[in-house]
Amino acid sequence: MQKQTLRLSLVVLAILFSAFVSATPSNSSPRPLRKSEVLALVAGKIQPENIVFQIQSRGLSFTPDENYKSLLKAAGADPKVLVALTAAKIASREPADSAENSALLQHLSTAGRMIRTSRFDEATNELSAAITGGSGRLEAGFVMGIVLLDQQRSQEAGQLYSQILERDPDFPEVHARLSATYFEIGDPENALREAKAALAENPNNPVAHLNAGAALLNMRNFDAAKSELQASIRSKPDYALAYYFMGQLLDELHDFDGAAEQYKKALMLNPGDANIHYNLGVSFGNKGDYVSAIREYREAQRLDPKHLEARQNLGAALMHTDPAAAIVEFRELAALAPNWPVCHACLGEALLQTGRIQDAEKEYRTAAQLDPASPGPHLGLGRIYESQKNYEAALREYRQAEKLDNSYGPASADVGRMLVLRKDLPAAIAEFKRAVEADPANWSHHDLLGQALENTGNRDAAIGEYREALSIAPKELQARLDLASALEKKGDWLSALENYHRAALDEPPLKPGTIAAYYDASRKYANAQRRLQQHLADLRSSGKSSEAAALESALRAKASTTNVDDRFHDAMQASQVALTEKRFDDAETSAKQAIEIAEKIQPQDGRLPEALGRLGSIYAWRMDLKNAEETYKRQLTLCQKLYGPKSPMITPPLESLAMVAAAQRDFARSETFFSQAIDLNAATYGQDSTAVAETLSGLASVYLKEQNFAKSESTLLRVIHIYETAYNSDDMPIGIPLGNLCYVYDQWGKPDKSAPCHARLVSIEEKQFGADSPYLVRDLTAEAEALRKLGRADEANEIQKRLQSLQSAQANPN
C-alpha cells in the first residue's frame, strides 16, 4: 500500500511540475476541443451530458475517425457522446497524429477502462507512461484527478485541478471537478464558488448544480440547496447522486418519508451503492421503521463489508427490535474494528440493556481507554452504577463526561437526574436547561426539565416543556403521560383525558424476549376516566351540576370528532380487553368493527392485517379452526402485498397458520410455515436473534406434539443458546425455553437430562424470586422425581425436605 501511494505521489508531482513549465495562454473565447481533451473527459468520468455540451459549444479541432471512436468506446464513452461527435462542427484542424500523440491517446483510453473497473494501480501506470512524452500532461493530470478522488485523496486531486486551471483556463470541466474536491475537504464556500463558475459556462450542468446544492446544504441554506438540486435533476433526470443529496436535504428537514422516496429513486438508478442503502436505512430509522432500516443496513453491509457505520447502525436498529441480534452484530463490529471506540461503547450499551453488567462495564472501559476524550463511555459507566444504586459514583461519571464536553446535552441531563435524587432541584433545573440549550431537539431533555419544574410547583412552565417534548417526539409515552398528569392536576380534564387516551393508543404491546419500558398507559387511561367520574359526582354533590353538565357536554363533543385512527385503535383495544376476559362474542364484534374501519382507509396500511390477526386469534381461542385459517390466510396475503414476500412483517400470519395446522394435526404443513418464518427472521435479524428464537420455540412445540422429542430438544437447545448470547445464563428470560426443555425431558422419559434441567431452572427461580418462594415448588418436585428414577434417593429426599419446609411456610406465613 505504501508503494502505491508513493507511485501516485510521483505521478502527481510530475504533472504539477510539467504544468508549471507548459502553460497555455487563455483565449477570449473557448477554443475547439482536441482529441486528447475529449478522451480525457471520457476517461475522467465526466457526465455524458456535459461532454456533449462541450462538443456542441466548442466544436472540434479534428475529424473523429473510427479508430478514435474505438478508443473512446474502450474508455467508456456513452452513445450520446459518439452521436455528438458525428454531428460536431469542425472549427479547426490539429496536425496529424504523431507517434507520441497516438501513444498518449492509447494510454488515456486504457486508463479510462481501468478506472471504470477500479483498477487504480494499472490506471496509474498508464497515466505515468502518458506523461513521459512532451504533450498531454494536463489531460493525464485531469484523468489522474478522478483516480485520486475515487481513492478519497481529495486534497491532492484539488491541487491537480487547480494547477490545470491555472495553466489552461480553457481546459473543459475543471471548475466542476474542482468544486467537488473543495466539498470533499470540507470547504463549502469555495465549492460553491467553483460550481457557480462552471454554471456560468453551462447553466444546465447537472454536476455543477449538484455541487452547488451540496455546498449550500453543508452551509444549511436549505431553500437554496433545494433549488440547486432540483435544477440538477431537471438537467439530468437519471442522476442518482442528485436524488441522494435531495434525500439528505429532506432528512435535515425531518421529512423522513420524502427523504426515503428520494433514496429509493437513487437506488433504482444505482442499486449497488452501499451509501444510498445506508442513508435510506437512516431515514427509515428516523421515522421508527426499524425493520426496513435493518434491511437497508444489511444490504449496505453486504455491498461494503467494511462499512463500519452501517454495522453500527444495524446494531442500533436491532436494539429496538432484537437485543440478542444486536449483541451479535456489535461483537462482530468490535472484532472487525477493535480499535474503534464507538463499537465498544455500542456493545456496552447492548449488554447493559440486557442485564449483562460486568460484560458491559468491560466494553465501556475499553472504549474509554481507546478514546479518553469521549464522554460517551462515562455515561455508560454511570448507568451501570445507577443500576447498582450507587448514585454518587454515577454522578462522578456523569460529571466527568460533562467535563470532557461541557456542550454535550446527555451528560448535563444525567447530572441533572442525579441532582433530582439528591433533592437539589435548583441545581438540577440548571443542568436540564444546559442540556436543552446544548441539544434543543432532544425530547427527553425537555421532559426532564418539565418534571423538575413541576416538582418546584411551576406547573405552567412544566406543561410548556412537556408540550415542547411532544412537538419533537409525538409518540414518546413518558412525555405524553407527564403532560396528561399535569393537565389533570391543573383541572383541564378535557386535555388531560385526550392525552391519556393518546398514550393508551400509542403504547405498543410488550414483545417477548425484549427489555423495554412499559407504561401501562391503558390502565392509566382507565383510572383517569374513573377519577373523572368521581370528579363529576363531586361537582354535582357540591351543587355544581351545571359545571358537571358543561364538562360532560365538552367530552361528548370531543368524542364525536375522534379521527379514523383513534376509532380503529379504540375498537382494537376493546377487542383485546374482551378477549382477555374471554368474552369472545364481544371480542369478535369489536375486531370486525376494526376491520370495517381499516378497510375504508386508503391507501391501505398495516392496520387491516393487524385487525385480521386479532379476529383470527379470537377464532383460534374458540377452536373455530376453519375460520381462523381463512382469516390468517387473508392476513398473510395482505402482509405480502404491503411489505413484500421477503419481509419479516409477514411472519406473524405464518406463525399463526403454523399453530392452526398443528392444532389440526397437520404437522408437516405446520413445520413448513414455521420454517418459512424462521428463514425470514434470520435473513433480517440474524441467525442468533430473539425473533428466530421465538419462532424456533413454536417449532419445538410442534415437534413435541408429534412426540419427536429429539428434534424438540435440539430446537430448544438452540433457543437457549440464542438467549445466552443476550442474557446471563441465570437470567429469567432463559427460564422460559429452559422450562419447555425440562418438560420435553419429562415427557420423553429422560430423567438423566430432566434432573439437571430442573436444577438449573430452580437456580434461576431462586435468583428471581428468592430461596423460599413458592415458585420453586413445581421444579423442585420434578427434580426430586427424576432423581428417584435415577436411583439417587438420598438427593431426592433432601429436596423433599426442602419442599416440606416451603409448603409449611406457605401454610403458616406468620
Q: pLDDT digits over 157-201, tens only?
A: 999 999 999 999 999 999 999 999 999 999 999 999 999 999 999
| C-beta separation of 449 from 466 below 8 A | no
Structural domain containing residue 51: 1-20+30-172
| C-beta separation of 575 from 590 below 8 A | yes
In this prediction, residue 130 has a pLDDT band, given cuts at 50, 70 and 90, of confident
Alpha helices, DSSP H only, in 59-153?
66-75, 79-87, 99-116, 120-130, 137-150
Cell of 284: 427509515
Distances (CA, A) of 676 to 650, 653, 658, 696, 699: 10, 11, 10, 11, 11
Tell me the average pLDDT across 345-369.
Answer: 91
**What is the residue type of 162?**
S
Distances (CA, A) of 665 to 659, 671, 674, 699: 10, 11, 14, 13
Residue 790 to residue 770: CA distance in whole angstroms? 28
**What is the residue type of 478?**
Q
Tell me the average pLDDT across 775-783.
Answer: 92
The pLDDT tens digits of the residues spanning 460-475 come to 999 999 999 999 889 8
In this prediction, residue 3 has a pLDDT band, given cuts at 50, 70 and 90, of very low
Indicate whether 15 belongs to any domain: yes
Instruction: Flag whether pLDDT at 325 surpasses 60.
Output: yes
Between residues 518 and 131, the one the model is more confident about: 518
Q: Which of 148-157, 448-457, 507-516 shows the lowest mean pLDDT across its residues?
A: 507-516
Tell me the average pLDDT across 769-775.
Answer: 87
DSSP collapsed to 3 states, 659-706: HHHHHCCCHHHHHHHHHHHHHHHHHHHCCCCHHHHHHHHHHHHHHHHC
Instruction: Flag whether pLDDT at 93 surpasses 80.
Output: no
Instruction: Flag whether pLDDT at 27 surpasses 90.
Output: no
Indicate whether 744 belongs to any domain: no
Indicate whether 555 belongs to any domain: no
In this prediction, residue 385 has a pLDDT band, given cuts at 50, 70 and 90, of very high
Task: Please report the pLDDT score of residue 5 as a whole number.
Answer: 46
Task: Please report the pLDDT score of residue 515 as a whole number.
Answer: 59
Name residue, grid cell 376516566: 529
Indicate whether 120 belongs to any domain: yes
Phi and psi dihedrals of 581, rounded to 5? -90, 5
Looking from the CA of 514 toward its CB, the CA atoms found within 13 Å total 20
The pLDDT tens digits of the residues spanning 256-284 come to 999 999 999 999 999 999 999 999 999 99
Tell me the average pLDDT across 105-112.
Answer: 94
Residue 232 to residue 558: CA distance in whole angstroms? 48
Tell me the pTM: 0.80
Tell me the average pLDDT across 569-573.
Answer: 89
How many structural domains are present in the chain?
A: 1
Distances (CA, A) of 753 to 492, 744, 786: 62, 10, 9
Query: Residue 599: which H helix or E strand, with range?
Result: helix 584-599
In this prediction, residue 511 has a pLDDT band, given cuts at 50, 70 and 90, of low
Instruction: Flag whether pLDDT at 353 surpasses 80.
Output: yes
Q: Which residues contact 303 (CB under 8 A, 6 or more apart)?
A: 272, 273, 274, 277
Tell me the average pLDDT across 480-491.
Answer: 96
The pLDDT tens digits of the residues spanning 687-744 come to 999 999 999 999 999 999 999 999 999 999 999 999 988 888 888 889 999 999 999 9
Task: Please report the pLDDT score of residue 594 as a whole number.
Answer: 94
In this prediction, residue 55 has a pLDDT band, given cuts at 50, 70 and 90, of very high
Indicate whether 76 belongs to any domain: yes
Cell of 226: 433545494
Instruction: Flag whether pLDDT at 20 surpasses 60.
Output: no
Reduced to 3 states (helix: H, G, I; strand: E, B; else coil), residue 563 is coil
Residue 174 to residue 195: CA distance in whole angstroms? 10
Indicate whether 578 belongs to any domain: no
Instruction: Flag whether pLDDT at 656 surpasses 70.
Output: yes
In this prediction, residue 97 has a pLDDT band, given cuts at 50, 70 and 90, of low
| Percentage of the chain exceeding pLDDT 90 | 75
Torsion of CA 739, 741, 744, 748, to 10 degrees: -130
Task: Please report the pLDDT score of residue 1 as a whole number.
Answer: 38
Residue 235 to residue 264: CA distance in whole angstroms? 19
Residue 149 to residue 534: CA distance in whole angstroms? 72
Indicate whether 10 belongs to any domain: yes
Indicate whether 301 belongs to any domain: no
Task: Please report the pLDDT score of residue 715 as a whole number.
Answer: 97
Cβ neighbours, 10 Å, residue 552: 13
Radius of gyration of the chain (CA): 34
Instruction: Flag whether pLDDT at 569 surpasses 70.
Output: yes
